[in-house]
Amino acid sequence: MQTNTHGMISLFLIFMAIAVALGAVVLKSPLFALIYLGICAICFLNIVFSYCAKCPCREKDCSHGFLGSLTKIMPKRKEGPYTFIDILSTLISIGAILMIPHLWLVYNIPSLILFWLLIIVAALEIIFLVCPDCANKNCYLCPGKSKSVKKFSA
């Protein structure tokens, strides 16, 4: 069992960044803030389905604590290498969460700076303190493990 303290802290920082973005959006348009919140929820679940559902350590050894457990309430997927579609779907979801609020963040520079500060610290924490101990041998960020991408298969 790996310790997941850094995994939990990095997730918290990401949620804080989303909260900062939401704050900036809500000042301009409460309706779009609600839409952005919905997009974040859908993208978050899609990341768990596209990535975590195929992770070998999702049930007992998730590096981010509870993300792996969420796969229990989703349709089962077979563990194994990620496909091109899995990775693309994950990247699109991450991109949507990070980029959509910029339509409003560009008008709120302090929030924009805080948003990226939180995201960068979370990313550095994940890369340097979470990934090296993560047991997901299929993940491309796991150092020193063999990876292979099966193209366009389920």
Q: Please, which residue, 58 or 104, has the CB nearer to ligand SF4?
A: 58
Q: Please, which residue, 68 or 101, has the CB nearer to ligand SF4?
A: 68
CA dihedral 27, 31, 36, 38 (to 10 degrees): 140
Q: How far is the CB of 92 from ligand SF4 (least distance, A)?
A: 16
Distance CA 102, CA 4 (A): 31
Q: In Å, how far are 1, 23, 43, 73, 84 from 91, measured between CA atoms? A: 28, 24, 10, 22, 11
Q: Please, which residue, 8 or 103, has the CB nearer to ligand SF4?
A: 8
Q: How far is the CB of 118 from ligand SF4 (least distance, A)?
A: 17
Which spans of this chain sit near ligand SF4 (rule: CB under 6 A)? 51-52, 55, 57-58, 62-64, 67-68, 126, 130-131, 134, 136, 139, 141-142
Asked if residues 87 and 138 have their Cβ atoms less than 8 Å apart, the reply is no
